[in-house]
Structure 1
Amino acid sequence: MSNFKKIFPFIVPYKRYAYLNIFFNVLYALFSTLSFMALIPMMQVLFDQTKKNTVLPLYNGYVSTNHFFEDVKTYFESTKLFLENSLSYYITTTTAANGVGYTLSIMVGVIISIFLLKNLFDYLAMFFITFLRNGILKDMRNAMYKKTINLPLAFFSEKRKGDVISRISADVNEVQTSFLSILELIVKEPLTIIFTIIAMLSISVKLTLFVFIFIPVSGYIISLIGKQLKKQSTKAQQEQGIFLSTIEETLGGLKVVKGYNSENHFYKVFQESTQRFFNLSNSIGNRQNLASPASEFMGIMVIAILLWYGGHMVLIEKTLNGASFIAYMGLAYNILTPAKSISKASYAVKRGNAAAERVLEILDQENSITSKVNAIKKDTFDSNIVIKNVNFKYEEESVLKDFSLEVKKGQTVALVGQSGSGKSTIANLLTRFYDVNEGTICIDGIDIKDMNLRSLRDLMGLVTQDSILFNDTIKANIALGKHDATDHEIMEALKIANAYEFVKDLPLGIHTNIGDSGNKLSGGQKQRLSIARAVLKNPPIMILDEATSALDTESEKFVQIALENMMQNRTSIVIAHRLSTIQKADLIVVMKKGRIVEQGKHDELIALNGNYNKLVSMQSFE
């Protein structure tokens, strides 16, 4: 129930559908009971057992005894007697005036009308709950997706992407189909049982009390079947996340899989995962499938006992008439269907509860990288970026140690060093993809933690080593930098990025779809589109994270020209692997194991004959 309370806010926007569902479920439960009660007078007419009553009955009420339970009992009995006498009076007078055939026709018409209304109310209840369930499904998926894209990058270094996808798709759907069956569980079926029991009590209190001796026993036996279901469901959902991750990783690295002839290896990994899912699903399914026949068998056992004891009351004790007993048996069987539904729904709730926990784990995940209340919104970059005494580690090993650096407005500062020296970490910290463990990063004297996160990232353009493009048109990919950009602005950005020449030759120009991850383009073309995206955004600060390291020499020339065009009149932080790209930088910072070991201009660092000179000597200048 604690998980249901957390999901309850998703129900609130659709509460009118919940109210309508409850309203029609109440009517369904009432008419479901009446449909059996209406059989009694019809059978009495059929078997000529109707009490002859030619005097119109009057309701005289009852005398209060000031004892609540006694008063309720007396009121119940007097009302029941009045209704029975009224019905017998109507049947007697109608039969006398129009014949028994006419009376029987009226009875049949009433029964058909009651069954029609019962099924109409059932349809309307399901009609409205459909909007409720699908609305919750939509909103929960939206909330999950929004939370997922807002969570810091650190979260996804611990979670498989396929597992997150599984939670957004399969688990949310499980919550909708299984967990929300609790709405039916607490309204429709219990009310049907309550109304039916009231009707059964009105026919025979003695017989009903006899039934209730056996119901708890059968209920206990059924409950034993549901144990371990939630635990197994959790394992099954986790396994689904594993094989979805395998699919996502395999498709993402298909060139490597094929290049290393590893198709069989990955197929085996996937097959093992689906086999585990198969075994768990069978166990869960068989346990659930046992619920329905077990509850029905236990119900039939109760019915069989009723037939024996009720038959004794009709044939030997003569305390119950045959028509009432037949209707009573119908009512007793009427309890079986909702009881069976409750047992199935309770198993579904256990399975849905496991899915709800996985969904809520994402929704309840704390996001440490957010804007503070009353965070400072800053639209301009005026003087400098100051990184002061920064320490940072991703897990246990420190990546940056007491790192300090000042980048003045208009400067191009290059960060160089061996892999693992902490260069890319600087880019991640500046953009607040991660937060520093110690120290501060300030822009124009304002700590970036005090700045509005959106305005901070608006000040920066990012071009990464991996050209991240989406399965859409060139225009849509570039317009991420400025969503309301015109075609002319996009063309100008392409020209600055040295990409216009190849784009104009494409069949549909900027409206050409570039495929999944831009796979229809070459590496150099993809990188130039990434640069065009940053150019269109037109930020005052540009961060280039090894933007040319993955390119061949010819592509690098085109991209290098594009980068130089883009960096004009901007403050640029260039993380470089190829040192030929940063010779003209105003300041080159040489890093080693998270510390600055040298800094200066290219010629000054060469003259030092230190770490930078060693790096240069390993690469040939063109």
Structure 2
Amino acid sequence: MKKILIQLLPFIKKYKKHVVLNVIFNILNALFGTLSLVSLIPMLDVLFDKTNRVKKEPVWNGIGDFLKYGNDLLNYKVSGYLENGDEQIALLIVIALVIITFALKNLFGYFASQHVMYLKNGVLTDLRNDMYDNIINLPLRFYSKRQKGDIMARILGDIGEMQNSLFIILELIVREPLNVIFAIGMMFYINWRLSLFVLVFIPTAGFVISRIGKRLKSQSLTAQQESGRLISIVEETLTGLKIVKSYTAESVFKYNFKNSADRLLKLSNSIGLRNNLAGPVSEFLGITTIAILLWYGGTLVLVDKTIEGTTFIGFMLLAYGILTPAKAISKASYKVKNGMAAADRVFEILHEADTMPDIPNALELNEFKSEITINTISFKYDDDLVLKNFSIKVPKGKTVALVGQSGSGKSTIANLLTRFYDVNEGSIAIDGNDIRNITKKSLRDLMGLVTQDSILFNDTIKNNLLIGKQEASEEEVVEALKIANAWEFVKDLPKGIETNVGDAGNNFSGGQKQRLSIARAVLKNPPIMVLDEATSALDTESERLVQIALENMMKNRTSIVIAHRLSTIQNADEIIVMHKGEIAEQGKHNELMAKNGTYKKLVEMQSFD
């Protein structure tokens, strides 16, 4: 718990004003909560004619004598009315005292709750924002072996669990312990022997409850991990719903979902059983203590006559009043276990370091002047090398195409150029500057990326394009659509560029989505274009339209084209034929055809002349 609070401290410091005010109002709430119960004793004294008659006005002797002075002053005022036969006025005074103390207790409790609300919501929002920032900043390698659903569960479910569980301690850490401390202090003031019975209850209850909740944190962590798996199954099912239905694999996915849901059910029930024990156990222990107090206190009232019956009733109210905060603390201790497990998962992401940070004083490269150099690079995702001693040069204004069979390492070049991954050996340089010495932002600002998967976001056409250039005018957006051969269908839409593309762009065909992706790259207007199999998923007619859009976009630009369909790259300045991460052949289309080697076989396999 201490470790988690230390990690939360930087977030809490921002709201220290609310922390201070919450503590102040909680102190006042606890103080008047105790006084409100004590104020019932004078009312009972008046009702049962047990008021201690004070005929001489008490003298103030300093703060140390506060309780005695207050009690004597009240008895002095009430005694005056009782002596004059004005019992109703005396009763009205003590009732007013009860109302005032209860009103102040609730008023200060309201103020305390308001400030802890601002603190809690502010901290959780900052946590969620920082977590999202880190999720976006972390390199792709971090996500290569993680489930998206688990990440989603952490930023949504686990932070929600922290709000419902861990942050309850912010509400209880001051208020409830103070309620107990003030009540016990007043009880000792009234009768120290009776108070000792109450003190036996607190550690006993704490020990019993801690034994019940011992395994709660580990179970909660397992439950949250299972919740992440459940969300992953839902996310994967929705993403691949066409495949699921076309292969009639609904039963497989239903089985996987049901298994995960059943595991989560068992864990939730186990956690719930332990949580539900906290209240009854603490209440039973409290009632047991009250019963002992009734027996022992009744003896002091009826046999020893060392305490008035009305005072004993007030004492019992204070003792019973301890049960509420004690019960709240015990239940909170269970919930906090859930919150701690959730916090561990949240802070794991928050503290995940960027393994590809910009170096100190990294170069801001604002223009591309001469060439891209890939110099004897080797790279592996896991154990096996995907690229081996690979070298090429791409002069400014030229188009270089990379071709080869699947798994030859073509798309890996795109990942390394855009620095989604770093090379294991060798270097990639722009104008002689190693890209590892360039800020990632300025590097990527020089490049436009069009991938095989035309990724669009659930927003308008205009806003999808503005991702490339946020300050672009509407005229620039339309011009980019025209260059990308997309204006021909966008202009006929009822809302034009304000049309929503739908989830993942599903309101449009594959060819239309790809042309919108190209328009986004055109609007960005970078000097370097990286096209990663931009037409491989299209039909012949869509490919033709997209190819025209690509040719329009590539004019006067340096382009690296990763191609599966060889018809799209015949006019490239140089074609690199790749095989198992190495260069098999390179040259222009006609030169490679004349060699009668790997390239020609690839062309013939695709039935091109």
Instruction: Specify the TM-score bucket, using the shorter chain as the normaliser.
Output: over 0.9
Q: TM-score, normalised by structure 2?
A: 0.97
Of residues 278, 283, 288 in structure 2, which corresponds to 1:291? 278
CA deviation profile, 1:338-368 (whole Å, cap 9, x unmatched): 0000001111111000000111111111111
Paired with 1:462 and 1:529, the residues of 2 have a C-alpha distance of 13
| Match in the other structure for 1:18 | 19
- Give 5+ residue unaligned stretches, structure 2: none
- 1:541/1:204 CA distance change after superposition, 3 Å: same
Task: Spell out the pairing of 1:154-165 with structure 2 (5 A cutoff).
Answer: 154-165=141-152
Of residues 456, 479, 495 in structure 2, which corresponds to 1:508? 495
- 1:81/1:468 CA distance change after superposition, 3 Å: closer
Q: How many residues of Structure 1 are paired with residues of Structure 2 in the alignment?
A: 608
For the 8 Å contact 1:384–1:408, the answer to whether it is kept is yes
Give the secondary-structure state (helix, strand or coil) at the position aligned to 1:620. coil
| Match in the other structure for 2:425 | 438
Please state how far the C-alpha of 1:88 moved relative to its aligned partner. 2.6
Residue 354, structure 1, aligned to residue 354, structure 2: no
| Match in the other structure for 1:72 | none
| Match in the other structure for 1:588 | 575
For the 8 Å contact 2:375–2:427, the answer to whether it is kept is yes
For the 8 Å contact 1:25–1:188, the answer to whether it is kept is yes
| Match in the other structure for 2:464 | 477
Paired with 2:347 and 2:404, the residues of 1 have a C-alpha distance of 42
Task: Spell out the pairing of 1:361-376 with structure 2 (5 A cutoff).
Answer: 361-376=348-363
For the 8 Å contact 1:463–1:544, the answer to whether it is kept is yes
Task: Spell out the pairing of 1:56-455 with structure 2 (5 A cutoff).
Answer: 56-59=57-60, 80-97=67-84, 99-455=86-442
Paired with 1:27 and 1:199, the residues of 2 have a C-alpha distance of 15
- 1:510/1:213 CA distance change after superposition, 3 Å: closer
- Give 5+ residue unaligned stretches, structure 1: 62-74
For the 8 Å contact 1:215–1:302, the answer to whether it is kept is no
For the 8 Å contact 1:80–1:202, the answer to whether it is kept is no
CA deviation profile, 1:262-286 (whole Å, cap 9, x unmatched): 1121111111111111111111112
Please state how far the C-alpha of 1:96 moved relative to its aligned partner. 2.7
| Match in the other structure for 1:46 | 47
Paired with 1:274 and 1:605, the residues of 2 have a C-alpha distance of 57
Of residues 500, 514, 517 in structure 2, which corresponds to 1:527? 514
Paired with 1:141 and 1:200, the residues of 2 have a C-alpha distance of 45
Please state how far the C-alpha of 1:543 moved relative to its aligned partner. 0.1
Paired with 1:580 and 1:435, the residues of 2 have a C-alpha distance of 31
> Aligned letter for 1:555?
S
| Match in the other structure for 2:9 | 8
Residue 537, structure 1, aligned to residue 538, structure 2: no
Q: Which 4+ residue blocks in structure 1 deviate beyond 6 angstroms? A: none
Give the secondary-structure state (helix, strand or coil) at the position aligned to 1:41. helix
> Aligned letter for 2:93?
I
Once the two structures are overlaid, the 10-residue window that deviates more, 531-540 or 47-56, is: 47-56
Please state how far the C-alpha of 1:86 moved relative to its aligned partner. 3.0
For the 8 Å contact 2:113–2:171, the answer to whether it is kept is no
Please state how far the C-alpha of 1:79 moved relative to its aligned partner. 5.2
| Match in the other structure for 1:66 | none
CA deviation profile, 1:320-343 (whole Å, cap 9, x unmatched): 111111100000001100000000
> Aligned letter for 2:6?
K
For the 8 Å contact 1:136–1:176, the answer to whether it is kept is no
Please state how far the C-alpha of 1:319 moved relative to its aligned partner. 1.6
CA deviation profile, 1:442-487 (whole Å, cap 9, x unmatched): 1111111111111110000000001001111111111211112112
> Aligned letter for 2:31?
L
Task: Spell out the pairing of 1:19-34 with structure 2 (5 A cutoff).
Answer: 19-34=20-35
For the 8 Å contact 1:503–1:510, the answer to whether it is kept is yes
Give the secondary-structure state (helix, strand or coil) at the position aligned to 2:58. coil
Paired with 1:214 and 1:621, the residues of 2 have a C-alpha distance of 88
Paired with 2:206 and 2:499, the residues of 1 have a C-alpha distance of 64
> Aligned letter for 2:393?
E
Of residues 578, 588, 602 in structure 2, which corresponds to 1:615? 602
RMSD between aligned alpha carbons?
1.5
Q: TM-score, normalised by structure 1?
A: 0.95
> Aligned letter for 2:9?
F
